[in-house]
Amino acid sequence: DGGITQSPKYLFRKEGQNVTLSCEQNLNHDAMYWYRQDPGQGLRLIYYSQIVNDFQKGDIAEGYSVSREKKESFPLTVTSAQKNPTAFYLCASSRETGQSRDEQFFGPGTRLTVL
Amino acid sequence: AQSVTQPDIHITVSEGASLELRCNYSYGATPYLFWYVQSPGQGLQLLLKYFSGDTLVQGIKGFEAEFKRSQSSFNLRKPSVHWSDAAEYFCAVGAGGNKLTFGTGTQLKVEL
């Protein structure tokens, strides 16, 4: 079945540690996205990538980093510089680049908790 | 920049009753509009989308939405709600590039 997988589903981190969230898609989509979801705030865009080896900052990129070495993979690293990292993180992909009319397909999410 | 407002944070309806969730957007031209649904602890699933043409859009699970340019609205409706419709609903607008702007969501509770 085609889709987006995110791992792990739950992640716990101590303050001061970096942690990497995995996102893989087998939909052959060009564009991939990372969102952060907090209660009552909807989804906020962290980073997005339209093509391999290229990515752009979203609205809340500070304290996060990404890479796009393969078309199917778009890992997100939450660094120690992110002041309030506890949140639900969603990865998404869409078929075409530069087309906001394209549906974005979402993974099941990773809940990160900083202890 | 575009923005989306979902004025209702929580809505409670009885099973079998009709439903309307409100969405207002701000954008200078005709936007691309979406409604997504999210079950607890899960990702988002697309219900329907509007690009152009007929302003009444049919989606999955019996949902529909109507684009009203004069009111900058894209309200989601369902004639008869089922208990399984309890979830959080997000309206989103796309206005260029790959980026979508999401509203803050409406939590729907269904009373049996």
Highest mean pLDDT among A100-104, B29-33, B74-78: B74-78
Helix, strand, or coil here: B81?
A: coil
Query: Which of A76, A80, A38 has its CA nearest to residue A58?
Result: A76
* B42 contact residues in A (CB cutoff 8 A): 108-109
CB-nearest to B43 from A40, A90, A103 is A90
Name residue B54's amino acid.
D
* pLDDT for A68 beyond 70: yes
Q: Check residues B54 and A6 and name the one with the higher pLDDT.
A: A6
Provide the pLDDT confidence category of residue A39 given band limits of 50, 70 and 90: confident
Question: Are A87 and A113 within 8 A, CB to CB?
Answer: no
Q: How far is A93 from chain B (nearest CA, A)?
A: 10
Residue A49: both structure tokens together? 């990538």
Dmax (CA) for chain A in angstroms is: 39
Tell me if A100 and B100 make a contact (CB, 8 A cut-off). yes
Name residue A113's amino acid.
T
pLDDT score for A96: 73
pLDDT score for B36: 97
Tell me the torsion sign for CA atoms B102, A13, A113, B85: positive
Q: Check residues A102 and A110 and name the one with the higher pLDDT.
A: A110
Q: Which of residues 58-87 of B touch A (CB under 8 A)?
A: none
Average pLDDT over residues B83-92: 97
Provide DSSP, A21-70. EEEEE-S--SEEEEEEEETTTEEEEEEEEEETTEEEE-TT-TTEEE--SB
Write the pLDDT tens digit of every residue in A72-105.
999 999 998 888 999 999 999 998 766 667 789 9
Which residue reads 């309307």 in tokens? Answer: B20
Output the CA–CA distances (angstroms, integers) from residue B25 to A32, A79, A92, B1, in the order listed: 24, 34, 22, 11
What percent of chain A has pLDDT above 70? 96
Average pLDDT over residues B19-32: 89
* pLDDT for B1 beyond 80: no
Q: Which of residues 18-47 of B touch A (CB under 8 A)?
A: 32, 34, 36, 41-46
* pLDDT for B31 beyond 90: no
Task: List the beta bridge partners of residue A34.
Answer: A47, A91
Write the pLDDT tens digit of every residue in B32-66.
999 999 998 899 999 999 988 889 999 999 999 99
Check residue B85 and give left, alpha or beta (phi > 0: left; psi -120 to 50: alpha): alpha
Radius of gyration of chain A (CA): 13
